[in-house]
Amino acid sequence: MSAAPLLPVLPGTVSADGRPATLGVMGGGQLGRMFVHAAQRLGYFTTVLDPDPHSPAGYVSHHFIQTAYDDADGLAQLAAQCDAITTEFENVPAQALTALAATRPVAPGAAAVAIAQDRIAEKDHFVACAGISGVSCAPFAVIDSAAAVEAVPDALLPGILKTARLGYDGKGQMRIRTREELLAAWTALKQVPCVLEQLLPLKAECSVLVARGWDGSIVSFPPQRNVHVDGILAVTHAYASNMSSALAVQALAATKSIADHVGYVGILCVEFFVIDDGSEHGALVVNEMAPRPHNSGHYTLDACDVSQFDLQVHAMAGLPLPQPRQHSPAIMLNLLGDLWFDAQGKEHTPDWQAVLALPGAHLHLYGKLHARAGRKMGHLNITGADVAGVQATARKAAAILGLPGLEDH
């Protein structure tokens, strides 16, 4: 899958027909916005394609194409304007990426994105990679018929039923205890293809980001520990003592094999569970992969010498991939729309004055004009000279904003 003749796309260059070197992104959410910032910092022009006229990335991009992701004219415009194209969310139709790849380097490619779009294909991929890394996914069964419900082994109960496609932030998931509940849950999910996963005893969750180039070279960030509240990421702890070093090494190796096995190009995040298997530190299980930058990697913007978005730019454009260095311990606090409402449901502005007075607090708001409960509005990175200081500042910020997720950690 080499796009060698068209790469590298050097920043700041102008083509013979007068077009500045331009990078494109499918999707205009906050991940697209931070990608645009990174690309522009290097001197690229940018184009964003998104159906929403008020997309966070569309607001800050040089060019914005407002069409559906599968609109042939929109895709043709994107290909005409851009020297290389990436994606910021996994539900872009894989066919659209295939169409773009006919004329432009597209990273990640359609095959990798198609795997991440479908939990069944994703689990098959993880099982195949487990042969290399020794880290597999949760025991599971595909639920696509009443017969499949009947055939579910008792060992998978209690479990979590997840739609194979289009789930995020815990949506499209139901916890079930019995076979009867499984049938009812599958019916409630409209009998679309699903996977049933065994409910695992989680000790912790973590994720790993790697960037892989067109030549197969690979660099990585250290694993980060994640705390979810109500199925949505709330807090990321990014410092060396956040998990056992043996597990960190294993998570990194598993992520690399998951990227290599699909010939991945771009930035990839793999989420893991640390399960309680009776051992001191627990055991790793792969949860899912995201073919794009990830919420749990936002700390890299302020705590590392290159961010996950910088590496997304480098990888797609065929630039060298420097090994990132984390220069500060960090904690990332996710800022959901709930913060914009008081106990009576009245809208207010969170106390940014108090937060911005904290040393090492880096506020990132995504330019979303309307807050809603559960909507990702921004994040707050806390950096500092040492872990204890970062934890203390994060607790202060959480207290000011009324944020959950730090209580037990």
Q: Binding residues for ligand ATP, per CB under 6 A? A: 138, 160, 162, 167-171, 173, 197, 199-200, 202, 205, 228, 231, 271, 287-288
Q: Of 274, 208, 219, whose CA–CA distance to 244 is shortest? A: 274
Q: Which does residue 160 touch among ligand ATP, Mg ion, none (CB within 5 to 8 A, set by kind)?
A: ligand ATP
> How many angstroms separate the CA atoms of 266 and 53, rounded?
27
Q: Could you say which DSSP state residue 318 is in?
A: T
In the complex with ligand ATP, which residue's Cβ is closer, 7 or 196?
Answer: 196
Closest approach, Cβ 171 to ligand ATP, in A, equals 6
Closest approach, Cβ 207 to Mg ion, in A, equals 9
In the complex with ligand ATP, which residue's Cβ is closer, 104 or 292?
Answer: 292
In the complex with Mg ion, which residue's Cβ is closer, 104 or 119?
Answer: 119
> How many angstroms separate the CA atoms of 101 and 242, rounded?
39
Closest approach, Cβ 368 to ligand ATP, in A, equals 17
Closest-approach residue to Mg ion (CB): 271
Q: Of 203, 287, 210, whose CA–CA distance to 244 is shortest? A: 203
Closest approach, Cβ 25 to ligand ATP, in A, equals 19
Closest approach, Cβ 167 to ligand ATP, in A, equals 4
Q: Which does residue 122 touch among Mg ion, ligand ATP, none (CB within 5 to 8 A, set by kind)?
A: none
Q: Which does residue 184 touch among ligand ATP, Mg ion, none (CB within 5 to 8 A, set by kind)?
A: none
Q: Which does residue 169 touch among ligand ATP, Mg ion, none (CB within 5 to 8 A, set by kind)?
A: ligand ATP
Closest approach, Cβ 343 to ligand ATP, in A, equals 27
In the complex with Mg ion, which residue's Cβ is closer, 153 or 231?
Answer: 231
Check whether the bond before 8 is cis (ω within 30° of 0).
yes
DSSP string, 88-154: SSTTS-HHHHHHHHTTS-BSS-HHHHHHHH-HHHHHHHHHHHHHHHS--B--EEEE-SHHHHHH--G
Q: Which does residue 199 touch among Mg ion, ligand ATP, none (CB within 5 to 8 A, set by kind)?
A: ligand ATP
CB count in 10 Å sphere of residue 383: 24
Q: Which does residue 170 touch among ligand ATP, Mg ion, none (CB within 5 to 8 A, set by kind)?
A: ligand ATP
Closest approach, Cβ 31 to ligand ATP, in A, equals 12
- Give how far Cα 240 sits from Cα of 177, 249, 282, 309, 386, Å: 37, 12, 17, 22, 11
Handedness of CA 134, 277, 197, 231 (dihedral sign): negative
Closest approach, Cβ 287 to ligand ATP, in A, equals 5
In the complex with Mg ion, which residue's Cβ is closer, 271 or 302?
Answer: 271
Q: What stretch of H or E contains 381? A: strand 376-383
In the complex with ligand ATP, which residue's Cβ is closer, 118 or 197?
Answer: 197
Residues in touch with Mg ion (CB under 5 A): 271
CB count in 10 Å sphere of residue 275: 17
In the complex with ligand ATP, which residue's Cβ is closer, 71 or 124?
Answer: 124
**Would you say 117 and 90 are in contact if contact means Cβ atoms under 8 Å apart?**
yes
Q: Which does residue 168 touch among Mg ion, ligand ATP, none (CB within 5 to 8 A, set by kind)?
A: ligand ATP
Burial letters 128-140, b for 16+ CB under 10 A, else e: ebbeebebbbbeb
**Would you say 259 and 214 are in contact if contact means Cβ atoms under 8 Å apart?**
no
